Chains A and B, each alone.
Chain A
Amino acid sequence: MTPDPYGRLPHAFTAAGSSSFVDFLAGYAPELLPGRRPLPAGAVPDSPHGTTIVALAFRGGVVVAGDRRATMGPTIASREIEKVFPADEFSAVGIAGSAGLALEMVRLFQLELEHYEKIEGALLSLDGKANRLATMIRGNLGLAMQGLAVVPLFAGFDLHRRVGRIFSYDVTGGRYEEHDHHSVGSGSVFARGSLKKLWHPGLGPQDGVRVAVEALYDAADDDSATGGPDTVRRIWPVVATVTEAGYLRVPEAELADVVDAVLAARRAQHAGSDTGRRVDGGDLR
């Protein structure tokens, strides 16, 4: 912070008008904004990337879930990274893409919403929150062109319409409202296929969590960059619901039961198929 000659708070602090923390930073300390830093020449070296996020609507809310893997080229950079966060009390954001930038952007987005709430004394509308995120993604376009794209999936409970809504984004800041369900990240193609078959209108919260876990399982099955449930270390996906009552991360114990049920069902399916009993090939008997 550059001190005023008299030691008082600089003019930017007392200037009336904006309720946006990002706008305040852009005026006062632009180097703190991810998209405002000058880019050095040359290619960006390998850095961790987050992978698959799924979101789906259920009766009275939305589920957002993400696997726990970050990859750096062919290497697994982290097996317990968290990529789903509460944006505020009534919304959640999941991130795929360049992990370092994405985490910074989530931190800034959370602060942006809280800052508005404190200054205005009221919550932003869900559309307002979605638009703020679009603006932040747009500001990151320069970095995205260097291969450091951040692709979020935003979902929340709309307090006016009283429904859960889902928004997806592209790197240019395009904001698209998704209906029923959506997925982003490297495993999203497979997760979307899974969601199409498993999602149906009128899902309850528990079914919603189960469908999200199944979709992530299917993504991990076919995408090397998406991590499946780790039964050895007991690392489960991060699954959160947002309803009228607010953001709630599904507790570990409850999630362990869901994962066990999904795994048991898949195992049973597999045991019943012919390929499950095949003993030729590598068999040395």
Chain B
Amino acid sequence: MSMPFYVSPEQLMKDRADYARKGIARGRSVVVVAYDDGIAFATENPSRALHKVSEIYDRIAFAAVGKYNEFENLRVAGVRYADLRGYSYDRGDVNARGLANAYAQTLGTVFTTESKPLEVEIVVAEVGAEPGTDQIYRLSYDGSVTDEHGYVVMGGQAEQLGARLAEEWRAGMTLEEALGLAVRTLGAQAEGETRAIPAGQLEVAVLDRTRSRRAFRRLTGPLLEDLLDGA
């Protein structure tokens, strides 16, 4: 007769965390950078249809790394959550904090109760009327939330890239400067020269506070090339 092995809770959680972390580290990084008129998102993604950055609501965007089917599911849930809230109260009553909480609960519950944690890391960002009221929340696979200021890097080598960003980022950058910094960060390699990433291989979007209602906008094609050349 076989007996089930005893596994300590510490070991169980550590195994799950390692598993999730490994899955996330395989993917390409996403960089989120605040600039004077909003928040910019950039990642290396040759696909034009499978997005890692998307619109959730008027002033709220979503960025993710990890397993596509898992974060796509969370993205759709976020759109439903935000639209339902805006419909039952008012558009102005939908905020990033509420959504970040709902995501945190979901990630946390899956991490502790299901056999496999979600291999995703998410940023929920909301652009305010002025830079001081911007909100950027970073959510991990285990449901932990951090309120970030100014910039975030997720995905493979997040720590090294984050350190690079920390050196160069400052408040009040223009969009050109912020995008230049984001793309340099994405192209950074452990050794040697920074890789130049062509505009066609990038997925770039902004939450632009100067737009009237829906702040989210994708930057592609010639517009993106001009912005990158200007940096």
B102 at the interface (CB under 8 A from A): yes
**A9 CA to B143 CA, complexed, in Å:** 13
The stretch that binds B, out of A107-115, A124-132, A149-157, is: A107-115
Determine the chain B residues whose CB is within 8 A of the CB of A28 once the complex forms.
84
A118 at the interface (CB under 8 A from B): yes
Interface residues on B, range: 20 to 34
Residue of A nearest to B73 (CB): A14
Determine the chain A residues whose CB is within 8 A of the CB of B88 once the complex forms.
29, 32
Q: Given the interface contacts A8-B106, A8-B110, A32-B87, does A14 sit within 8 Å of B54 by beta carbon?
A: no
Determine the chain B residues whose CB is within 8 A of the CB of A8 once the complex forms.
102, 105-106, 108-110
- Contact (Cβ within 8 A) B110 A24: no
Interface of B is mostly: helix
Residue of A nearest to B56 (CB): A118
**A8 CA to B102 CA, complexed, in Å:** 6
- Contact (Cβ within 8 A) A121 B51: yes
A199 at the interface (CB under 8 A from B): no
**A13 CA to B77 CA, complexed, in Å:** 5
Residue of A nearest to B86 (CB): A111
Determine the chain A residues whose CB is within 8 A of the CB of B129 once the complex forms.
none
- B181 to chain A minimum Cβ distance, whole angstroms, is 27
Determine the chain A residues whose CB is within 8 A of the CB of B84 once the complex forms.
1, 24-25, 28-29
- Contact (Cβ within 8 A) A6 B80: no
Determine the chain B residues whose CB is within 8 A of the CB of A107 once the complex forms.
87
Within 8 A of A (CB), among B65-109: 73-74, 76-77, 79-81, 83-84, 86-88, 102-103, 105-106, 108-109
- Contact (Cβ within 8 A) A119 B79: yes
**A119 CA to B55 CA, complexed, in Å:** 9
Q: Given the interface contacts A13-B77, A25-B84, does A6 sit within 8 Å of B55 by beta carbon?
A: no
Determine the chain A residues whose CB is within 8 A of the CB of B102 once the complex forms.
8-9
- B16 to chain A minimum Cβ distance, whole angstroms, is 16
Determine the chain B residues whose CB is within 8 A of the CB of A114 once the complex forms.
83
Residue of A nearest to B106 (CB): A8
- Contact (Cβ within 8 A) B54 A121: yes
- A66 to chain B minimum Cβ distance, whole angstroms, is 22
- B123 to chain A minimum Cβ distance, whole angstroms, is 17
Determine the chain B residues whose CB is within 8 A of the CB of A4 once the complex forms.
109
Q: Given the interface contacts A8-B105, A8-B110, A14-B74, does A24 sit within 8 Å of B51 by beta carbon?
A: no
- Contact (Cβ within 8 A) B105 A9: yes
A-B contact pairs, 24 of them (CB 8 A): A6-B105, A6-B113, A7-B105, A8-B109, A8-B110, A9-B77, A9-B105, A9-B106, A13-B76, A13-B80, A13-B81, A14-B73, A14-B74, A21-B87, A24-B80, A25-B84, A28-B84, A107-B87, A108-B87, A111-B86, A114-B83, A115-B79, A119-B79, A121-B54
**Top 6 nearest A-B pairs by Cβ distance?**
A7-B105, A13-B77, A8-B106, A6-B109, A8-B109, A14-B77
Which residues of A are interface residues toward B (Cβ below 8 A)? 1, 4, 6-9, 12-14, 16, 21, 24-25, 28-29, 32, 107-108, 111, 114-115, 118-119, 121
Query: In the complex, given contacts A4-B109, A14-B73, A14-B106, what are 14 additional A-B residue pairs having Cβ atoms less than 8 angstroms apart?
Result: A1-B84, A6-B113, A8-B105, A9-B106, A14-B74, A16-B76, A24-B80, A25-B87, A28-B84, A29-B84, A111-B87, A115-B83, A119-B79, A121-B51
